[in-house]
Amino acid sequence: MRRGPRIGLGIGITYLVLLAGAVLALAPYLLSLLTSLKQPVQLARQATLTWPAPWTGENYANVLGGQYTLLPALVVTVQVVLVLLVGQLVCSVLAAYAFARLEFPGKRLLFGGYLATMMVPQVVTIVPLYVMFAQAGLRNTFWGIVLPTLFGSPFAVYLLREHFRGVPQDLEDAAKLDGCGTLRILRHVVVPLSRPVLATLAVITVVSQWNNFLWPLIITTGPTWQTLTVATANLQSQYNGNWTLVTAATTLAMAPLVALFLLVNRRITESIAVTGFR
């Protein structure tokens, strides 16, 4: 039985420390959930750490149907994430297969270029991208949000290439002998064998695009195209200090991803460890 490095801590202390950490990790969410179920007057009049008396869903009703309802933003975010998921997976798979299995002039140089661009941080590209998109008239449009990351990322290409190179060549050769073209080989041989990695990449894309804030913040204006993160930020700035309402909004904004996470948590934790992606 693997026990890991022993550092002389008893089992009891281990559990104690882990439990303390777990409490610290969950407390803010639970406390804010509690606040969101209170009436504003209760938070203003009574001490913070009291149970809601009475319990109320009015804050959630306001967030879902009020002035600054989060529902349109939720829909926009789902649309953005779906489109980016398809785009990123398709483009990255194609490119990674080209790098993994095909020979063409400049391949090594191009791949090196891909690796180099992984070092370019997002904050550096947002200002020029904004200028480019503003000049192209793509401000405050759906495609303005989606285009910069639609065509895959160097990281995804790198990851998939590593994986494709590990796929046994015989299967592809057999398919080639049967007369399959490259695309058919991809579709029927390589991709089915790569489902774990693809699922991992899908999860990474969904999580990082769902949580994206800076780019949607600057490229959108107004309620039409704001994503969930931007809508939540706007709600907080409008109702600054109305914490029962704001905590309801943050709980709603987090709920979809937390639900997704609980469903596929093993996939996510494996993916983080294996791929090292943020």
Partner 1 sequence: MLALAPRAWHVDDVRTTRRRRETLTGFTLLAPSLVGTVVFLLVPVAVALWLSFQRWDLVSPARWAGLANYAAVLTDAGIRHSFAVTILFTLLVIPTQTVLGLGVAVLLARRLPGSGFFRVVYVVPWICAPLVVGLVWRWMFDPSTGALNAIVGTRVEWLSSHTLALPAVAFVTVWTQVGYVALFFLAGLAGIPPQLSDAARVDGAGPWRVFRSITLPLLRPTTSFVLITGVISSFQVFDTVYAMTEGGPGGATSVVAYEIYSEAFTALRMGRAAAIAVVLLVILVALTLLQRWWFGRRTTYEVSA
Partner 2 sequence: MERLSRRALIGLGAGGLLAGCSIAEDPASDSSSGGTVVTVRLWDDTVQRAYEKSFAAFREQNPDIDPRIEMVPWASYWDKLPADVAGGTLPDILWVNSSNFGVYVDSGTFLNISEELPDSIGGWQQTVVEQYTRDGSLWGVPQLSDAIALFVNDDLVGDTDVSNLVWGGADDTFLPVAQALTNRSGARTQYGFNAGYDLQAIFFNFVGSNGGTWQGDAASGDDTYTFGDDQKSVAAMQYVVDLINRDQVSPSAADTNDNGDFSRDQFTQGNMALFQSGTYNLKNVADSAGFGWSIAPALTGPVGRVLVTNGIIAVGNAKTAHKDATLKVLEWLGSAEGAGYIGAEGAAFPAVTEAQQSYLDYWQGEGIDVQPFLDAAAATDVMPAPHGARAQTGQQAADEILKEVFLGRIPVADGMKQAQDAANAAIQE
- In the range 134-153, which residues lie near partner 1 by CB under 8 A? 134, 147-152
Span from 56-64, 66-74, 163-171, 262-270 in contact with partner 1 (CB under 8 A): 262-270
The verdict on 45 binding partner 2 (CB under 8 A) reads yes
The verdict on 177 binding partner 2 (CB under 8 A) reads no
Q: Compute the least distance from the CB of residue 32 to partner 2, in Å.
A: 18
Count of CB atoms situated within 10 Å of the CB of 101: 17
Which residue lies nearer to partner 2 by CB, 107 or 195? Answer: 195
Angle at 159 between CA 153 and CA 162, to 5 degrees: 140
Count of CB atoms situated within 10 Å of the CB of 84: 24
Q: Judged by CB under 8 A, which of 85, 91, 110, 254 binds partner 2? A: 85
Crossing angle, helix 107-117 and helix 154-165, to 10 degrees? 130
Crossing angle, helix 195-210 and helix 154-165, to 10 degrees? 170
Span from 2-10, 30-38, 73-81, 99-107 in contact with partner 2 (CB under 8 A): 73-81
Tokens for 159? 């990851």
The verdict on 46 binding partner 2 (CB under 8 A) reads yes
Which residue lies nearer to partner 1 by CB, 66 or 277? Answer: 277
Whole-number Å distance between alpha carbons of 104 and 74: 43
The verdict on 69 binding partner 1 (CB under 8 A) reads no
Which of partner 1, partner 2, none binds 102 (CB below 5-8 Å, type-dependent)? partner 1
Residue 223 identity: P
Which residue lies nearer to partner 2 by CB, 176 or 267? Answer: 267
Q: Which residue has the tokens 């073209």?
A: 181
Count of CB atoms situated within 10 Å of the CB of 80: 22
The verdict on 221 binding partner 2 (CB under 8 A) reads yes
First to last CA, the chain: 31
The verdict on 227 binding partner 2 (CB under 8 A) reads no
Cβ(34)–Cβ(52) under 8 Å?
Answer: yes
Which residue lies nearer to partner 2 by CB, 111 or 239? Answer: 239
Cβ(261)–Cβ(268) under 8 Å?
Answer: yes
Which of partner 1, partner 2, none binds 41 (CB below 5-8 Å, type-dependent)? partner 2
Span from 51-59, 62-70, 166-174, 242-250 in contact with partner 1 (CB under 8 A): 242-250
User: Which residues, numbered 29-58, are part of the site for partner 1 (CB under 8 A)?
Assistant: 29, 31-32, 35, 43-44, 47-49
Q: What is the largest CA-CA distance in the chain?
A: 78
Which residue lies nearer to partner 2 by CB, 106 or 128? Answer: 128
DSSP assignment, residue 141?
A: S
User: Which residues, numbered 114-173, are part of the site for partner 2 (CB under 8 A)?
Assistant: 134, 139-140, 142-143, 146
Span from 24-32, 118-126, 160-168, 222-230 in contact with partner 2 (CB under 8 A): 222-230
Backbone angles phi, psi at 202, to 5 degrees: -60, -45
